Chains A and B, each alone.
Chain A
Amino acid sequence: MSYAYLFKYIIIGDTGVGKSCLLLQFTDKRFQPIHDLTIGVEFGARMITIDGKQIKLQIWDTAGQEAFRSITRSYYRGAAGALLVYDITRRETFEHLTTWLEDARQHSNSNMVIMLIGNKSDLESRRDVKKEEGETFAREHNLIFMETSAKTAANVEEAFINTAKEIYEKIQEGVFDINNEANGIKIGPQHSPTNPNLPPGSQGANQSGGCC
């Protein structure tokens, strides 16, 4: 299983918004209506293709409960992408987005791509948050936005893949320092850092990473 790039994702958001279900739908293509509460974090992985390149996604699905908040913070730094999820049938999960976003911005590296996701779009009749509101919030905070349904799988693939595309573009633009693993990006075994495929900008954008 060789890959060109490896991206680390985290999924964050209030408890019960369907984070684990989104991951399960994405990795296993199935939906489990009754899901145990996530303890700490759970791991999932899948390979996708962008621009003809194999990209491995390593996804850490975090616990939404307040009690685990401090634990999940440890995952922000090393992630290249985050899916910030709320539940369109529960307004309060939408209102907590600001807190989540602050948290994420504070602990993550500044280039982390955040995708805002309004989940449970299949429950149109119980909708509590308008799509426009989500769009507005996303625009204001410079996020990508999408409504998904982990149950029907609508937009689930797209959510993960679009995030990956965004990260990929940032790499191409040289925004990410791909040699610093703290950014949540790893180059595949056969792609050495001096690979000619890499944009020249990425070398220049190198920063001295970490402590040593």
Chain B
Amino acid sequence: MNFFSSGLKSVLGTQEAAQQPSGAETVERLVERVLSSTLLEDRRDACRALKSLSRKYRVEVGAHGMSAFTYVLQTDYADCEIVGYALDALCNITSDEDFDEEEWQDTNYKPGSNLGAQFTEIFIKQPDNVGLVLSFLEEYDFRVRWPAVKLLKSLLSSKPKEVQDIVLVSPMGVSKLMDLLSDSREVIRNDALLLLLQLTKGNANIQKIVAFENAFDRLFDVINDEGYADGDIVVEDCLLLMLNLLKNNVSNQNFFKEGSYIQRLAPMFNILNDDELDVGLTPQKVSNINAVLQIIRTLVSPANPGQATASCQKALRATGIVEKLCSILMAGGVPVDVLTETIITVAEVIRGNLSNQEYFASVMAPSNPPKEAIVVLLMSMVNERQPFFLRCAVLYSFQCYLYRNEMGQTKLIQTLLPSTSEQPSVTAGQLLCGGLFSHDVLSHWLSSVALSHALIENPAAKESMLRVLLTPVSSHTPLSLLHHITLLLQQSNKVQSKLGLLILLATWLSHCPPAIRHFLSIDTSISYLTTQAGATEHDDNEELVQGLCAFIMGICTHFNDDSVPSFSKENLRQLINKRVGLEVFLDKLNEVSRHEMYSRAVKHPNIRVNSPNDLLLDHEFCKLFKALEGLVMKAVTVSATDLTNGPSENIEQYKNLIREQDKRITELSMHYEALHAQNVEQAAKIQELTDQNLILKAQLSTTSAASQINQGSPHGINVVQEKDQTIARLEEELKNLRLHLENRPLSAAESQAVDSEVIYLKSQVQALQQTERELMELRKDQEDLLELVADQEREIELLKSQLRVNQEKEEDQRQEEICPIKQEPFEPSPDREEKPQPENISEAQDKPQMISSDEVHPWLLLLSKEGDLAKDFESPLQAEYQRDLKSHESDSSSPAPTPELKFDSSPVILPPTTPLSTPTPPTQISGSSRSTPNIFSPVPLPSPKPPSTGPPSPGPVTVPLSALSGESDAPVGDFSNISNEPLEVTTLPTEPIAIPKSSAYSTYSWQATSNATEPVPLSQPNSSENSASIHSPPSSTISPPRQANNQECRCSFRSVALHQGLADSPQVHLHCRPAAMKVSSNRKKPLLQPLSPR
């Protein structure tokens, strides 16, 4: 106040105390002075005074002085001092906080009336004012630059949106701010950081400009200067600014990734050394690490475009950040909130990225013996002593690990099935099943949902999980997991556990008819659902249970394969209609999607709830619900008479018709082919005959040339007659053909293709007729020739008589006649037929046929034994046709064409009687088993050996669960409380495989003691009351004939029950049958190695 009064004095002169003017008067006078003084000194002093008053008389200074300050900023911009005062004063009056010394008496304002915002509004009404302030940022002088930064900060905090918009459009505004980050004066740099934090909040355009101005580089430089995670709050501010720039800004995320900034994040994680973890992290360091984790989460957020997230995940893995995150997970002494955040970050980094998921699965906890990180995490999930958020985070990480990770899902389910290697440690699957039977409601929910994630979009997993059998110790028969879930559902009276189980059920049953079959055959399953879905009253959140029950009923209807006669599609539909009522049913379904938790869960894969009671629905389940809701409604509402059956029957009819027509067409086309072949041959024949005719003609001409000595040719006539016969035959053939063609069944009318074929055939026949006509002509020619021959014969006779007369006279002439005859054999022409030597005639008759035998022969054959040949001809065709037909059938309808084909190619396997068209279950080929047990033929039961006598059957082995859970080296909290219930794992492989007799029956029992870390063989199973009972059940109860050749192994875990009475704790067996496929490759080995033979 001294300063204040002296300032006043210097401006106003000394005044008497009584005449002390009021604050408002003083301010007025000062403002006037600022505006009117000609001397810079005076203005400066007045300004300084106003600045001093601006806190106490904020209202007055703001109301009157605003114009004075802007005047100063505009006119006296060259004087740093006065500008500094003005900026400071403005800073005070626009500040959003109230000052202690503020005078409220004379004003209408009360504290908290948000004066700062009002003055800010007045100030920024003139956008040039903000530009003015921005321009002062360029002034290096500390007295100007710093207050300018502070003023902007204050303006921003009062009116963020408006100021952002002004800064955005003022040229170079952002770049001026960015330059402040390189200011060597830390106070300015730090305030600039805070200013940028406010400026970039929620404004993508400014975020992009800031990023464009190399913000990331500068921020990393600052972080580097400050020593990364060890740095003070400045590092946190830098990280928060980065977070601002990246959040919901894909363009900047892309820039961040492309600019290789991800790798510059890596040193942030270099700081976790053991000493520090023992002492505990400083709060600042925790904040810094949390901020980095937030940045990473922003980069790989599931809400981002898939491609962007995937590339960031890859980059994070490449820069080793994933490894570092996982090492934090497994390190001890990490504060719970950091750990929770790290788990969530890891979850999102691995989500949907197979290589990251595989890496995550391979991470081992540094315990002794080393355990998988996943197992350790799940232990904390099912541990009710762990913090709620941590448990949720673990579920999220587990869910992300299984997301689009078929291998991971299969692996998890494998842990519920027996494996070849001995696994004394606790597995993920066992933990989850244990969670289902725990007393903790939250564990129920978390375990069920976790299990449901192992089944999502994985039909194989759904089927193999059907083979998991569990049995409470007290009961004799092992029940399937599905059965247990159904029972638990009915026994539970907590909404949360019910919902968890229903989520698991719905996920399991959807798209999996075998599971539905199994589910429907459980006695009380449907009746329970019907009661629930039909209930008219409900407590809080119970409507969700009822809705989910309705949903599951719908799933059972829609995916029903009608294999359970009493609950076929139609039956269920009627059940819903009669017992529940369609309206009620649909209402219940709608309740689900209307529920608040549904809309919350559907938004984001991560569980975002504040209290354990809100944990009701799961994101993936909501997705499933959304996808199936419509189908379920349709399945339920559509009645059997219309649409569902009608069209399919029609289609079946049409299919049959088409199939028949197809058959017809193939038949006809084969006919056609055969006829065509005949036609071709006949055409060839005709050609031959024409040739022969030509030859005959030529012959005749030669004969006429050599007429005088020719004695006629009766065989020539023979030939012609023969030809006549041939022609007649051909005619007959043609007629037959025509008849054949005409008589062909006219069914082809249905298919035009056949018609056209017939037309084509007809044209062929016409062609044949034409040839026939030609033949007729040829015959005429022949007759003419015959006449000619007769004439010639007469001439020859005449010549002969002349010859006889002149015989004696012309002996020399006769000699000459013989000579040409002798030369004849050299001529290839058939002239020699007309040789006068009679003994040659018969031979000569054959000759013409012999000459052309190569061509004639098959034809004759064909003509002579047409029937036989046609058969020969047809048989391959027929076979082909049948093959066609078969393949056709299999194409159109056969459900299992592949195995058939296999049979075709390897006829050795195929029993001759096996009908080709019947679909053969693929299982018969591989010789492996399906899940249904009655497939297996009974095999004589090897007598179970008592555990004590059989060498391979080991004594009970004690495994302390508390030791497994790593009580001493558990990084977080205390795992010792996990799984108080003894878990009994019993494996029941049922596939018919050769198992060494010695290992055919063995019993294991692991008994938990508190301190042992290694499995220790215990005494006789039944010797101790406290130990888990050992099972050598009479074969009558546990080994029905179908399990005769089964190997049975049982393991029971028990930790010393700390909190619950032993008698109460349900004991659980896990009965598991190995997956059929898996076993076929390992069939030689016994499935479970005895641990230690007794």
B-binding residues in A (CB < 8 A): 1, 8, 39-45, 56, 58, 60, 70-71, 73-75, 77-78, 107, 181-182, 210-212
Residues 165-213 of B at the A interface (beta carbon under 8 Å): 168-169, 171-175, 179, 182-184, 204-205, 208-209, 211-213
| A45 with B255: CB separation less than 8 A | yes
Q: Assuming the A-B contacts A58-B259, A181-B214, A212-B140, are A43 and B252 also in contact, with contact meaning beta carbons closer than 8 angstroms in the complex?
A: yes
| A74 with B173: CB separation less than 8 A | yes
On chain A, the residues within 8 Å of B255 by CB distance are: 43, 45, 58
User: Is residue B904 contacting chain A, with contact meaning CB distance below 8 A?
Assistant: no
Instruction: Give bound CA distance, A74 to B173, whole Å.
Output: 8
User: Is residue B251 contacting chain A, with contact meaning CB distance below 8 A?
Assistant: yes
Cβ-closest chain A residue relative to B218: A181
| B251 with A212: CB separation less than 8 A | no
Instruction: Give bound CA distance, A42 to B205, whole Å.
Output: 10
| B179 with A212: CB separation less than 8 A | yes
| A1 with B260: CB separation less than 8 A | yes
22 inter-chain pairs at a CB distance below 8 angstroms, sorted by A residue, are A39-B204, A40-B204, A41-B209, A43-B208, A43-B251, A43-B252, A45-B254, A56-B258, A58-B255, A58-B259, A60-B208, A70-B168, A70-B169, A71-B168, A74-B168, A74-B171, A74-B173, A74-B212, A78-B175, A78-B213, A107-B171, A107-B172
Instruction: Give bound CA distance, A210 to B212, whole Å.
Output: 16
Instruction: Give bound CA distance, A44 to B252, whole Å.
Output: 10
On chain B, the residues within 8 Å of A41 by CB distance are: 205, 208-209, 212, 251
- Residue among B168, B173, B208 with most chain A CB within 10 A: B208
The distance from the CB of A46 to the nearest CB of chain B, in whole angstroms, is 9
On chain A, the residues within 8 Å of B777 by CB distance are: none
Q: Assuming the A-B contacts A43-B252, A78-B213, A182-B175, are A212 and B182 also in contact, with contact meaning beta carbons closer than 8 angstroms in the complex?
A: yes
The distance from the CB of B172 to the nearest CB of chain A, in whole angstroms, is 6
| A211 with B172: CB separation less than 8 A | no
On chain B, the residues within 8 Å of A60 by CB distance are: 208, 212
| A71 with B138: CB separation less than 8 A | no
Closest A-B pairs by Cβ, 6 of them: A70-B169, A45-B258, A40-B205, A43-B251, A74-B209, A43-B255
- Residue among B214, B217, B254, B258 with most chain A CB within 10 A: B258
Instruction: Give bound CA distance, A8 to B140, whole Å.
Output: 28
| B172 with A77: CB separation less than 8 A | yes
Residues 250-287 of B at the A interface (beta carbon under 8 Å): 251-252, 254-255, 258-260
A-contact 0/1 string along B347-390, CB 8 Å cutoff: 00000000000000000000000000000000000000000000
| B169 with A71: CB separation less than 8 A | yes
Q: Assuming the A-B contacts A40-B205, A74-B212, are A58 and B258 also in contact, with contact meaning beta carbons closer than 8 angstroms in the complex?
A: yes
On chain A, the residues within 8 Å of B179 by CB distance are: 210-212
The distance from the CB of A30 to the nearest CB of chain B, in whole angstroms, is 13
Instruction: Give bound CA distance, A45 to B211, whole Å.
Output: 14
| B140 with A74: CB separation less than 8 A | no
User: Which one of B173, B254, B259 contacts A44 once the chains associate, using CB atoms below 8 Å?
Assistant: B254
A-contact 0/1 string along B697-740, CB 8 Å cutoff: 00000000000000000000000000000000000000000000
Instruction: Give bound CA distance, A196 to B1007, whole Å.
Output: 73
User: Which one of A8, A44, A74 contacts B172 once the chains associate, using CB atoms below 8 Å?
Assistant: A74
| B174 with A43: CB separation less than 8 A | no
Instruction: Give bound CA distance, A123 to B209, whole Å.
Output: 34
Q: Assuming the A-B contacts A43-B252, A70-B169, are A75 and B209 also in contact, with contact meaning beta carbons closer than 8 angstroms in the complex?
A: yes
Instruction: Give bound CA distance, A1 to B261, whole Å.
Output: 11
Instruction: Give bound CA distance, A181 to B212, whole Å.
Output: 11
Identify 9 new A-B residue pairs, CB closer than 8 A, beyond the known A1-B260, A70-B171.
Answer: A41-B212, A45-B254, A45-B259, A58-B259, A74-B171, A75-B209, A210-B179, A212-B140, A212-B184
Cβ-closest chain A residue relative to B210: A74
On chain B, the residues within 8 Å of A70 by CB distance are: 168-169, 171
On chain B, the residues within 8 Å of A39 by CB distance are: 204-205
The distance from the CB of B775 to the nearest CB of chain A, in whole angstroms, is 68
Cβ-closest chain A residue relative to B183: A212
The distance from the CB of A12 to the nearest CB of chain B, in whole angstroms, is 14
Q: Assuming the A-B contacts A43-B252, A43-B254, A181-B217, are A75 and B182 also in contact, with contact meaning beta carbons closer than 8 angstroms in the complex?
A: no
| A40 with B214: CB separation less than 8 A | no
Q: Assuming the A-B contacts A45-B258, A58-B258, are A211 and B138 also in contact, with contact meaning beta carbons closer than 8 angstroms in the complex?
A: yes
Instruction: Give bound CA distance, A106 to B463, whole Å.
Output: 70
On chain A, the residues within 8 Å of B182 by CB distance are: 210, 212
Residues 649-677 of B at the A interface (beta carbon under 8 Å): none
Cβ-closest chain A residue relative to B213: A78
On chain B, the residues within 8 Å of A74 by CB distance are: 168, 171-175, 209, 212
On chain A, the residues within 8 Å of B259 by CB distance are: 45, 58
| B175 with A71: CB separation less than 8 A | no
Instruction: Give bound CA distance, A42 to B213, whole Å.
Output: 14
Residues 135-189 of B at the A interface (beta carbon under 8 Å): 138, 140, 168-169, 171-175, 179, 182-184
On chain B, the residues within 8 Å of A211 by CB distance are: 138, 140, 179
The distance from the CB of A177 to the nearest CB of chain B, in whole angstroms, is 15
Cβ-closest chain A residue relative to B257: A45
The distance from the CB of B219 to the nearest CB of chain A, in whole angstroms, is 14
On chain A, the residues within 8 Å of B175 by CB distance are: 74, 77-78, 182
On chain A, the residues within 8 Å of B214 by CB distance are: 78, 181
Instruction: Give bound CA distance, A70 to B209, whole Å.
Output: 12
Cβ-closest chain A residue relative to B208: A41
User: Which one of B140, B171, B211 contacts A73 once the chains associate, using CB atoms below 8 Å?
Assistant: B171
On chain A, the residues within 8 Å of B174 by CB distance are: 74
| B204 with A75: CB separation less than 8 A | no
Cβ-closest chain B residue relative to A106: B171
On chain B, the residues within 8 Å of A43 by CB distance are: 208, 211, 251-252, 254-255, 258
The distance from the CB of B318 to the nearest CB of chain A, in whole angstroms, is 10
Cβ-closest chain B residue relative to A3: B260
Instruction: Give bound CA distance, A211 to B213, whole Å.
Output: 15
Cβ-closest chain A residue relative to B258: A45
- Residue among A43, A75, A78 with most chain B CB within 10 A: A43
The distance from the CB of A42 to the nearest CB of chain B, in whole angstroms, is 5
On chain B, the residues within 8 Å of A212 by CB distance are: 140, 179, 182-184
User: Which one of A40, A73, A181, A182 contacts B208 once the chains associate, using CB atoms below 8 Å?
Assistant: A40
| A42 with B172: CB separation less than 8 A | no
On chain B, the residues within 8 Å of A210 by CB distance are: 179, 182
The distance from the CB of B202 to the nearest CB of chain A, in whole angstroms, is 14
On chain A, the residues within 8 Å of B171 by CB distance are: 70, 73-74, 107
The distance from the CB of B213 to the nearest CB of chain A, in whole angstroms, is 6
On chain B, the residues within 8 Å of A181 by CB distance are: 214, 217
The distance from the CB of A34 to the nearest CB of chain B, in whole angstroms, is 18
Cβ-closest chain B residue relative to A75: B212
On chain B, the residues within 8 Å of A44 by CB distance are: 254
| A42 with B251: CB separation less than 8 A | yes
Instruction: Give bound CA distance, A177 to B184, whole Å.
Output: 22
On chain B, the residues within 8 Å of A40 by CB distance are: 204-205, 208
Instruction: Give bound CA distance, A212 to B180, whole Å.
Output: 9
On chain B, the residues within 8 Å of A77 by CB distance are: 172, 175
- Residue among A70, A74, A75, A211 with most chain B CB within 10 A: A74
The distance from the CB of A195 to the nearest CB of chain B, in whole angstroms, is 19
The distance from the CB of B207 to the nearest CB of chain A, in whole angstroms, is 9
The distance from the CB of A19 to the nearest CB of chain B, in whole angstroms, is 14
On chain A, the residues within 8 Å of B209 by CB distance are: 41, 71, 74-75
The distance from the CB of A60 to the nearest CB of chain B, in whole angstroms, is 6
Instruction: Give bound CA distance, A78 to B215, whole Å.
Output: 12
Instruction: Give bound CA distance, A73 to B171, whole Å.
Output: 7
Residues 857-882 of B at the A interface (beta carbon under 8 Å): none
The distance from the CB of B422 to the nearest CB of chain A, in whole angstroms, is 47
- Residue among B169, B179, B212, B252 with most chain A CB within 10 A: B212
The distance from the CB of A205 to the nearest CB of chain B, in whole angstroms, is 21
Instruction: Give bound CA distance, A40 to B249, whole Å.
Output: 12
Instruction: Give bound CA distance, A41 to B211, whole Å.
Output: 11
On chain B, the residues within 8 Å of A1 by CB distance are: 260
The distance from the CB of B259 to the nearest CB of chain A, in whole angstroms, is 7
On chain B, the residues within 8 Å of A107 by CB distance are: 171-172
